[in-house]
Structure 1
Amino acid sequence: MALARGRRSSSEFNYWPGFVDALSTLVLSIVFLLSVFLVVQFFLSNEINGKDKALEQLTARLAQLNDLLSLEKLGKLNLDDQLSQMRAGLSAAQTERDRDKGPYDGLASAGNDAAGRASELNKALDSEKQLSARAAALVEVLNQQISALRRQLAALEDALDASEKRGQESQSRIADLGQRLNVALAQRVQELSRYRSEFFGRLRAILGNRPDIRIVGDRFVFQSEVFFDAGQALLLPEGKAELDKVASALTDLDKQIPAEIAWVMRVDGHTDSRPILNSPLFKSNWELSSARAISVVQYLVSLGVPPQRLLAAGFAEFQPLDTATTEEAYRRNRRIELKLTER
C-alpha cells in the first residue's frame, strides 16, 4: 500500500510541469498574437492618417473646383453630375475609414481582419487616386472653358469698340448735319426777316402814318375799330378798304419769296379783358377774337391771297399790350395783328 501511494505521488508530481509548460506556451502565443495585433494596428493607424491627409487635400481641391464651377454657367449640369459622383466616392471612402477605426472582436481573428482591412484600404487609396485623376481632368476642362470664354469676351470687346467707333462717326456726321441745318435755318430766318421788313415797309407806305395802325416788334397792329364795330366780327367797309391794300402787298410778296421758304401770314385776334354780356353771337372773348381773325382771313382769300399762306388765331384777352383798366388800355388791347412767320 505504501508503494502504491508512492507511485501515485510520483505520477502527480510529473503531470504538473507538463501542464505548466502547455499553459506557458499558450500564454506566449497569446502575447505573440497581441504583439502582431499592435503592430498591425500601428500600421493601420499610419495608413488611416495618410488617408485623412489625402481626403483633406481632395476636399480642398473640391472647394477650388466649386469656386470655379460657380463662375461657369456653361456646362453646369454635366459638371454637377461629375461632382456628385466624386462626392459619392468620398462618402464611400469615409465610410471605409470609419469602419477601419472600429474595435476588433476576438484575438483569434485579429490577423485575418487586419489583412482584410489593409487590402480594403489599398483599394480605397486606389479609388482616391482615380478620383484625383478625374478631378485633374475636370480642372483641365474648366480651364479650357475659361479660355474659350475669355476669347469670346475679347471678341465682344472688339465688336463693342467697333460699334463705339461707328457710333462716334455717326455722332460726328449728325453734329455736322445739325450744324449745317442750323446754318440753313438761320439763313432762311434771315431771308424771311428781310422779306418781312420789305413787306412792313411797303404796308407802311401804302397805309400811311395812321395812329390806329402801327408796328409793334415783328407785328403789324390794327386797332379793332378799324375793321369791326364793338362786339361784332363783321368787317366794316373801311376795314375792307385797308385789307385790299394788305392783300395787294401779300400777293406781290408771294411772288417774291422763294417757294422753298414755308411762310405764312398769321392773323391774330385780341380783345380787352371785359367779359361779353348778353351777346346772341358770342359767349366769350375767345369766340369773338377767333371770329374776327377768321373774318380777316376769309376776306383776304376772297381777294386772291393763297389760303395756304394764311393762318387765323384767337387769343381773347390773354395777351394784353397794356394791363391797366382804363378805357385807353382797353382800346389798345382790342386789336388785329399781322405777323409774317414760318409755317
Structure 2
Amino acid sequence: MIGARRRLGGDSGENVWPGFVDALSTLLLVIIFLLSLFVLAQFFLGQALSGRDKALAELRMQVLELGDLLKMEQQASAALRDSMAELSSSLEAANKDRDALSAELESTKSALASSTARLSELDAAASALGIEAADLKSRYATASEELEREKALSESARRQVETLQRSITALREQLARLEAALQASEERDQRNQAVIVDLGRRLNRALAAKVDELAGYRSEFFGRLKEVLANRPEVRIEGDRFVFASELLFESGSAELGPEGRAEMRKFAETLLTISRELPSDLDWVLRVDGHTDKRPISTARFRNNWELSTARAVSVVEFLVEQGVEPHRLAAAGFGEHHPLDPADNTYAYARNRRIEMRLDQR
C-alpha cells in the first residue's frame, strides 16, 4: 500500500506519504500483538491460580479428613488395648480350664478303657445269648408244629365236648329248677326228704339216659347219612355236624336249590324220616340248619349282605325238607353270614370251605 501510495504521489507530486507513518503503523501493530500476548498470558495465569486455589482447598479438606481418621485410629487403638487386656485375662482362665479338662480327659480315658473291656465281655455274652436264642427259636418252631398237629387232631373232639357241654348246661338248668322246687317242698314237708332225694337221683339218671339216648340216635343218624352220602367229597362230617358245600346245593349268589342239591337233600330227607320214626315220642329233638358264606361282600337286588344270603339258603333247605315230609316243628333255620368261618385265610380254598350248610341234630 505504501509503495502504491508512493507511486501515486510520484505521479501527482502533491500527495506525499511520510515514511514515519509506516514506522508508526508497524510499531502500533507490534504493540497490539504484545497487548494480545499479555492478555492471553493474564488469562492463562488466572486459570492456573484458580486451579491452585481449588487444589489447596482440596488438600485442606483431605488434611481435615486425615485428622478425623487419625482420631478414630487412636480410639480404635485404645479399644484394642482394652480388648487385649480382656483377652489376656480370658486366656489365663482358658488355660486353667484347659488344665482341668486335661485332668478330666485322663480320667475319662481310663474310664473308657474299663468300659471297652466291659463292652468286650458284653459282646461275648451277647454272642452266646444269640446262639442260645437261635436254638430256642428252632425248638419253638418244632413245638409250634407239634401243637398245630395236636390242635387239628383235637378239633373234632372239642366240638363234641362243646355239644355235650351245651347238653349238660341244659340239664343243669333243669336241675336248678328242680332244686328250687325241692327246697320249697322241703319247707312244707320234712318227712318226705328221703323220697325227694331219691326222686332227684332217679331224675338225674333219667336225664342222663335221655342224653345218652339222643347221643346214640345222633350217632346212628350220622352213620346212616355217612353211608348214603359217602361218595360225595362235598359232604363231610365235622364233630356233631353234617357239612354240605354251598357249590353242591346252590348257584353262586343264589338261594334256590339246584337240581343236584335237591337230589342230595331228598336223600337226606329220606334218611331223616326213617330215623325219626325210630325215635321215642318223648324225645324232643330238632334238626338245626345253619347257613354260612365266605367273607367277600355281596350286594344284589335280592340280598343286601351275606347275612341275608346265608339265612335265605338255610330257609330254602328247611322248606325243601318240609316238602319231603319232615315235620316243620322239628326244623330250625339260622344264618350266620361270614362271621363263623372254618378257615380265616384269604384264598380260594378257604372261601370254598367257609361257604357251607351245616346240619345238627339237637334236643330242645
Q: TM-score, normalised by structure 2?
A: 0.46
Q: TM-score, normalised by structure 1?
A: 0.49
